[in-house]
Amino acid sequence: MSSIITEWSQQNKDDYGKRPLTALHSLHQGDKYSDENLAKLLEEYPRNKLGVYTMGQDHENWKTFVPGDAGDLSGEEIIEAVKKGRIWLNLRAVNDDIDDYTQLCEQMFQEVDSYTGCSTYKQDLGVLISSPNAQVFYHLDIPLVLLWQLRGTKKVWIYPNSSDFAPDENIEGIVLKETEEEFEYNPDFDRHALEIELEPGMFASWPQFAPHRIENHDMLNVSLSVEYVTMQAILQANMMYTNGVLRRRFGSTPLRENSSLVSLWVKAAFARALKLTRSGQQYQNKFRSHFKIDLSEKDCVRFYDKPQ
Ligand SMILES: [Fe+2]
Protein backbone atom coordinates (compact mmCIF):
# COMPACT_ATOMS: atom_id res chain seq x y z
CA MET A 1 0.00 0.00 0.00
CA SER A 2 1.26 3.51 -0.79
CA SER A 3 1.88 6.08 1.94
CA ILE A 4 -1.09 7.31 3.93
CA ILE A 5 0.54 10.55 5.05
CA THR A 6 1.60 12.46 1.94
CA GLU A 7 2.77 15.74 3.48
CA TRP A 8 4.20 16.39 6.95
CA SER A 9 6.38 19.48 7.29
CA GLN A 10 9.06 20.42 9.81
CA GLN A 11 6.54 23.00 11.12
CA ASN A 12 4.04 20.13 11.67
CA LYS A 13 6.67 18.22 13.65
CA ASP A 14 7.44 21.29 15.81
CA ASP A 15 3.72 22.01 16.40
CA TYR A 16 2.58 18.43 17.09
CA GLY A 17 0.99 18.13 20.54
CA LYS A 18 1.55 21.85 21.27
CA ARG A 19 -0.51 23.67 18.64
CA PRO A 20 -3.28 22.73 16.19
CA LEU A 21 -2.00 21.64 12.80
CA THR A 22 -3.13 20.26 9.45
CA ALA A 23 -1.26 17.95 7.08
CA LEU A 24 -2.15 15.89 3.98
CA HIS A 25 -3.13 12.24 3.40
CA SER A 26 -4.19 9.97 0.53
CA LEU A 27 -7.08 8.03 2.13
CA HIS A 28 -9.82 9.95 0.30
CA GLN A 29 -8.69 8.57 -3.07
CA GLY A 30 -10.60 5.70 -4.70
CA ASP A 31 -14.17 4.60 -3.96
CA LYS A 32 -13.76 3.10 -0.48
CA TYR A 33 -16.14 5.76 0.92
CA SER A 34 -18.77 5.74 -1.85
CA ASP A 35 -22.44 5.46 -0.74
CA GLU A 36 -22.44 1.81 -1.77
CA ASN A 37 -19.31 0.92 0.19
CA LEU A 38 -20.45 2.89 3.25
CA ALA A 39 -23.74 0.93 3.18
CA LYS A 40 -21.74 -2.32 3.04
CA LEU A 41 -19.60 -1.18 5.96
CA LEU A 42 -22.75 -0.48 8.01
CA GLU A 43 -23.97 -4.02 7.26
CA GLU A 44 -20.69 -5.56 8.42
CA TYR A 45 -20.22 -3.40 11.52
CA PRO A 46 -21.87 -4.75 14.75
CA ARG A 47 -25.17 -2.86 14.96
CA ASN A 48 -25.10 -2.78 18.78
CA LYS A 49 -21.83 -0.81 18.66
CA LEU A 50 -23.10 1.80 16.18
CA GLY A 51 -23.22 5.30 17.71
CA VAL A 52 -26.25 7.19 16.35
CA TYR A 53 -26.94 10.83 17.29
CA THR A 54 -29.04 13.79 16.24
CA MET A 55 -28.74 17.45 17.17
CA GLY A 56 -30.46 20.85 16.89
CA GLN A 57 -29.43 23.86 14.77
CA ASP A 58 -28.39 26.30 17.54
CA HIS A 59 -24.66 25.86 18.09
CA GLU A 60 -24.91 26.91 21.74
CA ASN A 61 -27.57 24.37 22.67
CA TRP A 62 -25.38 21.28 23.08
CA LYS A 63 -28.05 19.46 25.10
CA THR A 64 -29.87 18.75 21.80
CA PHE A 65 -27.07 16.30 20.90
CA VAL A 66 -28.70 13.02 21.95
CA PRO A 67 -28.11 9.31 21.26
CA GLY A 68 -30.55 7.19 19.31
CA ASP A 69 -30.61 3.92 17.37
CA ALA A 70 -30.88 2.66 13.82
CA GLY A 71 -33.08 -0.34 14.65
CA ASP A 72 -32.84 -2.95 11.90
CA LEU A 73 -32.60 -0.56 8.94
CA SER A 74 -30.32 -1.72 6.12
CA GLY A 75 -26.99 0.00 5.51
CA GLU A 76 -28.46 1.58 2.38
CA GLU A 77 -31.45 2.99 4.31
CA ILE A 78 -29.18 4.40 7.01
CA ILE A 79 -27.04 6.18 4.39
CA GLU A 80 -30.22 7.57 2.80
CA ALA A 81 -31.33 8.89 6.21
CA VAL A 82 -27.93 10.48 6.86
CA LYS A 83 -28.11 12.23 3.46
CA LYS A 84 -31.66 13.53 4.01
CA GLY A 85 -31.76 14.05 7.76
CA ARG A 86 -29.81 15.37 10.67
CA ILE A 87 -27.87 12.34 11.81
CA TRP A 88 -24.36 11.74 13.04
CA LEU A 89 -23.01 8.18 13.01
CA ASN A 90 -19.91 6.98 14.83
CA LEU A 91 -18.53 3.52 13.99
CA ARG A 92 -16.22 3.38 16.97
CA ALA A 93 -13.16 1.12 17.00
CA VAL A 94 -13.93 -0.18 13.50
CA ASN A 95 -10.36 -1.52 13.53
CA ASP A 96 -11.47 -4.15 16.11
CA ASP A 97 -14.19 -5.56 13.84
CA ILE A 98 -13.31 -5.05 10.16
CA ASP A 99 -10.02 -6.53 8.88
CA ASP A 100 -9.53 -3.83 6.28
CA TYR A 101 -9.53 -1.19 9.01
CA THR A 102 -7.29 -3.25 11.29
CA GLN A 103 -4.62 -3.11 8.59
CA LEU A 104 -5.31 0.54 7.83
CA CYS A 105 -4.92 1.41 11.52
CA GLU A 106 -1.61 -0.45 11.76
CA GLN A 107 -0.11 1.31 8.78
CA MET A 108 -1.51 4.67 9.83
CA PHE A 109 0.14 4.47 13.25
CA GLN A 110 3.44 3.22 11.89
CA GLU A 111 3.51 6.41 9.85
CA VAL A 112 2.20 8.64 12.66
CA ASP A 113 4.81 7.26 15.11
CA SER A 114 7.58 7.73 12.59
CA TYR A 115 6.57 11.30 11.60
CA THR A 116 5.91 12.52 15.15
CA GLY A 117 8.70 10.61 16.89
CA CYS A 118 6.21 9.59 19.67
CA SER A 119 5.01 6.08 20.55
CA THR A 120 1.21 5.73 20.46
CA TYR A 121 -1.01 3.26 22.34
CA LYS A 122 -4.68 2.23 22.50
CA GLN A 123 -5.38 3.22 18.90
CA ASP A 124 -9.08 3.47 18.12
CA LEU A 125 -10.16 4.21 14.58
CA GLY A 126 -13.74 5.45 14.18
CA VAL A 127 -15.58 6.18 10.94
CA LEU A 128 -17.85 9.25 11.23
CA ILE A 129 -20.68 9.57 8.69
CA SER A 130 -22.75 12.70 9.15
CA SER A 131 -25.56 14.70 7.54
CA PRO A 132 -25.26 17.93 5.55
CA ASN A 133 -25.01 20.85 8.03
CA ALA A 134 -24.78 18.52 11.05
CA GLN A 135 -22.69 19.83 13.91
CA VAL A 136 -20.61 18.56 16.78
CA PHE A 137 -20.91 20.93 19.72
CA TYR A 138 -18.14 22.49 21.77
CA HIS A 139 -16.43 19.63 23.63
CA LEU A 140 -13.07 18.07 24.36
CA ASP A 141 -11.68 14.55 24.21
CA ILE A 142 -9.54 12.86 26.86
CA PRO A 143 -7.38 10.89 24.36
CA LEU A 144 -5.41 12.56 21.57
CA VAL A 145 -7.29 12.85 18.28
CA LEU A 146 -6.46 12.96 14.58
CA LEU A 147 -9.35 13.92 12.30
CA TRP A 148 -8.99 12.74 8.69
CA GLN A 149 -11.39 14.17 6.10
CA LEU A 150 -12.57 11.75 3.39
CA ARG A 151 -15.77 13.17 1.83
CA GLY A 152 -17.44 16.60 2.02
CA THR A 153 -16.03 19.63 3.79
CA LYS A 154 -16.44 20.85 7.34
CA LYS A 155 -15.38 23.77 9.45
CA VAL A 156 -13.46 23.02 12.64
CA TRP A 157 -12.93 25.58 15.42
CA ILE A 158 -10.08 24.71 17.79
CA TYR A 159 -9.82 26.64 21.07
CA PRO A 160 -6.85 27.04 23.45
CA ASN A 161 -6.37 24.15 25.90
CA SER A 162 -6.27 26.47 28.94
CA SER A 163 -8.62 26.53 31.94
CA ASP A 164 -10.41 29.62 30.55
CA PHE A 165 -11.80 27.48 27.74
CA ALA A 166 -11.77 24.06 29.42
CA PRO A 167 -12.26 24.39 33.21
CA ASP A 168 -10.58 21.62 35.24
CA GLU A 169 -13.89 20.54 36.79
CA ASN A 170 -15.34 19.85 33.35
CA ILE A 171 -12.37 17.75 32.26
CA GLU A 172 -12.51 15.83 35.55
CA GLY A 173 -16.25 15.22 35.02
CA ILE A 174 -15.48 13.69 31.61
CA VAL A 175 -12.62 11.52 32.92
CA LEU A 176 -14.84 10.32 35.79
CA LYS A 177 -17.61 9.58 33.24
CA GLU A 178 -20.08 11.82 35.06
CA THR A 179 -20.95 13.59 31.81
CA GLU A 180 -20.52 13.31 28.05
CA GLU A 181 -17.86 15.47 26.50
CA GLU A 182 -19.86 18.65 25.80
CA PHE A 183 -19.96 21.59 28.19
CA GLU A 184 -20.65 25.32 28.41
CA TYR A 185 -19.68 27.31 25.34
CA ASN A 186 -19.57 31.06 24.97
CA PRO A 187 -19.70 32.47 21.38
CA ASP A 188 -17.01 35.00 22.41
CA PHE A 189 -14.60 32.05 22.60
CA ASP A 190 -14.63 32.00 18.78
CA ARG A 191 -12.39 35.10 18.72
CA HIS A 192 -9.64 32.93 20.25
CA ALA A 193 -10.22 29.89 18.05
CA LEU A 194 -8.25 28.67 15.09
CA GLU A 195 -10.68 28.02 12.20
CA ILE A 196 -9.87 25.25 9.75
CA GLU A 197 -11.76 24.37 6.55
CA LEU A 198 -11.19 20.62 6.46
CA GLU A 199 -11.33 19.21 2.93
CA PRO A 200 -10.90 15.65 1.65
CA GLY A 201 -7.19 14.79 1.77
CA MET A 202 -6.51 16.90 4.89
CA PHE A 203 -6.14 15.78 8.49
CA ALA A 204 -5.99 17.84 11.67
CA SER A 205 -4.41 17.38 15.10
CA TRP A 206 -4.63 19.54 18.24
CA PRO A 207 -3.25 19.44 21.80
CA GLN A 208 -4.83 17.12 24.41
CA PHE A 209 -7.88 18.71 26.15
CA ALA A 210 -8.15 21.50 23.53
CA PRO A 211 -11.90 22.14 23.10
CA HIS A 212 -13.25 22.14 19.55
CA ARG A 213 -16.50 22.24 17.61
CA ILE A 214 -17.38 21.27 14.07
CA GLU A 215 -19.99 22.22 11.47
CA ASN A 216 -20.48 20.31 8.23
CA HIS A 217 -21.04 22.23 5.04
CA ASP A 218 -24.12 21.39 3.00
CA MET A 219 -23.19 17.82 1.96
CA LEU A 220 -22.72 14.34 3.44
CA ASN A 221 -19.46 14.18 5.39
CA VAL A 222 -17.24 11.17 6.00
CA SER A 223 -14.23 11.43 8.31
CA LEU A 224 -12.00 9.14 10.32
CA SER A 225 -11.71 10.07 13.96
CA VAL A 226 -8.61 8.40 15.28
CA GLU A 227 -8.06 8.36 19.03
CA TYR A 228 -4.90 7.22 20.79
CA VAL A 229 -2.71 8.04 23.77
CA THR A 230 0.97 8.62 24.45
CA MET A 231 2.64 8.14 27.85
CA GLN A 232 2.36 11.87 28.51
CA ALA A 233 -1.36 11.83 27.58
CA ILE A 234 -2.01 8.90 29.98
CA LEU A 235 -0.28 10.78 32.80
CA GLN A 236 -2.37 13.90 32.12
CA ALA A 237 -5.64 11.90 32.03
CA ASN A 238 -4.78 10.09 35.27
CA MET A 239 -3.94 13.40 36.93
CA MET A 240 -7.39 14.76 35.99
CA TYR A 241 -9.00 11.58 37.36
CA THR A 242 -7.23 11.94 40.70
CA ASN A 243 -7.90 15.69 40.89
CA GLY A 244 -11.59 14.95 40.23
CA VAL A 245 -11.79 12.48 43.10
CA LEU A 246 -9.86 14.82 45.43
CA ARG A 247 -12.19 17.72 44.57
CA ARG A 248 -15.39 15.67 44.93
CA ARG A 249 -14.52 13.51 47.92
CA PHE A 250 -12.11 15.66 49.90
CA GLY A 251 -13.19 19.16 48.85
CA SER A 252 -9.71 20.14 47.67
CA THR A 253 -9.17 22.54 44.75
CA PRO A 254 -6.37 21.07 42.63
CA LEU A 255 -5.28 22.87 39.43
CA ARG A 256 -3.82 21.05 36.45
CA GLU A 257 -1.63 24.01 35.53
CA ASN A 258 0.25 23.76 38.87
CA SER A 259 1.20 20.13 38.51
CA SER A 260 4.87 19.25 38.32
CA LEU A 261 6.13 16.07 36.67
CA VAL A 262 6.60 14.38 40.09
CA SER A 263 3.04 15.20 41.12
CA LEU A 264 1.85 13.87 37.73
CA TRP A 265 3.45 10.48 38.38
CA VAL A 266 2.15 10.30 41.96
CA LYS A 267 -1.37 11.16 40.82
CA ALA A 268 -1.17 8.66 37.98
CA ALA A 269 -0.29 5.90 40.46
CA PHE A 270 -3.14 7.00 42.74
CA ALA A 271 -5.60 6.97 39.82
CA ARG A 272 -4.53 3.44 38.91
CA ALA A 273 -5.04 2.32 42.53
CA LEU A 274 -8.49 3.95 42.63
CA LYS A 275 -9.51 2.21 39.43
CA LEU A 276 -8.26 -1.14 40.75
CA THR A 277 -10.28 -0.79 43.96
CA ARG A 278 -13.28 0.39 41.90
CA SER A 279 -13.98 3.23 44.31
CA GLY A 280 -14.29 5.62 41.39
CA GLN A 281 -17.29 3.77 39.99
CA GLN A 282 -19.96 5.78 41.74
CA TYR A 283 -19.27 8.65 39.35
CA GLN A 284 -20.45 6.79 36.27
CA ASN A 285 -23.76 7.62 34.57
CA LYS A 286 -25.75 5.72 31.94
CA PHE A 287 -26.83 7.04 28.52
CA ARG A 288 -30.05 5.94 26.83
CA SER A 289 -31.61 6.02 23.37
CA HIS A 290 -33.84 9.05 22.69
CA PHE A 291 -34.92 8.34 19.11
CA LYS A 292 -35.02 5.94 16.20
CA ILE A 293 -33.92 6.74 12.64
CA ASP A 294 -37.10 6.94 10.54
CA LEU A 295 -36.99 7.90 6.86
CA SER A 296 -40.58 9.19 6.95
CA GLU A 297 -39.96 11.76 9.72
CA LYS A 298 -38.56 15.30 9.63
CA ASP A 299 -34.74 15.10 9.87
CA CYS A 300 -35.29 11.28 9.71
CA VAL A 301 -35.65 11.27 13.49
CA ARG A 302 -38.58 9.83 15.47
CA PHE A 303 -38.23 10.65 19.17
CA TYR A 304 -39.46 8.15 21.74
CA ASP A 305 -41.96 9.42 24.32
CA LYS A 306 -39.41 8.44 26.95
CA PRO A 307 -35.71 7.58 26.46
CA GLN A 308 -35.21 3.79 26.41
FE1 LIG B 1 -13.67 15.67 19.54
- Whether the pLDDT of residue 298 is over 50: the answer is yes
Tell how far the Cα of 303 is from the centroid of ligand 1, in angstroms: 25
Out of 41-55, 153-167, 170-184, 278-292, which region has the weakest mean confidence (pLDDT)?
278-292
What's the CATH number for 5-230+287-303? Answer: 2.60.120.650
pLDDT of the residue at 176: 80
> Could you tell me the distance, in angstroms and rounded to a whole number, from the CA of residue 220 to the centre of ligand 1?
19
- 277 or 16: which leads in pLDDT: 16
Average pLDDT over residues 19-34: 96
User: What is the average pLDDT across 98-121?
Assistant: 93
Instruction: Tell how far the Cα of 140 is from the centroid of ligand 1, in angstroms.
Output: 5
Q: Which tens digit of pLDDT belongs to each residue from 143-169? A: 999 999 999 999 999 999 888 998 888
Local confidence band at 270 (pLDDT 50, 70, 90 cut-offs): low
Q: 3-state SS of the chain?
A: CCCCEEECCHHHHHHCCCCCEEEEECCCCCCCCCHHHHHHHHHHCCHHHCEEEECCCCCCCHHHCEEEECCCCCHHHHHHHHHHCCEEEEECCHHHCCHHHHHHHHHHHHHHHHHHCCCCEEEEEEEEEECCCCEEEEECCCCEEEEEEEECCEEEEECCCCCCCCCHHHHHHHHCCCCCCECCCCHHHHHHCEEEEECCCEEEECCCCCCEEEEECCCCEEEEEEEEECHHHHHHHHHHHHHHHHHHHHCCCCCHHHCCHHHHHHHHHHHHHHHHHCCCHHHCCCCCCCEEECCCCHHHEEECCCCC
Q: How far is the centre of ligand 1, averaged over its atoms, from the C-alpha of 51 (Å)?
A: 14
What is the distance in A from the centroid of ligand 1 to the CA of 171? 13
Percent of the chain exceeding pLDDT 90 equals: 65
Q: What is the mean pLDDT of the chain?
A: 89
Sketch the domain layout of the chain as residue ranges: 5-230+287-303, 237-279
Kindly report which listed range (39-43, 65-69, 140-144, 213-217) carries the lowest average pLDDT score. 140-144
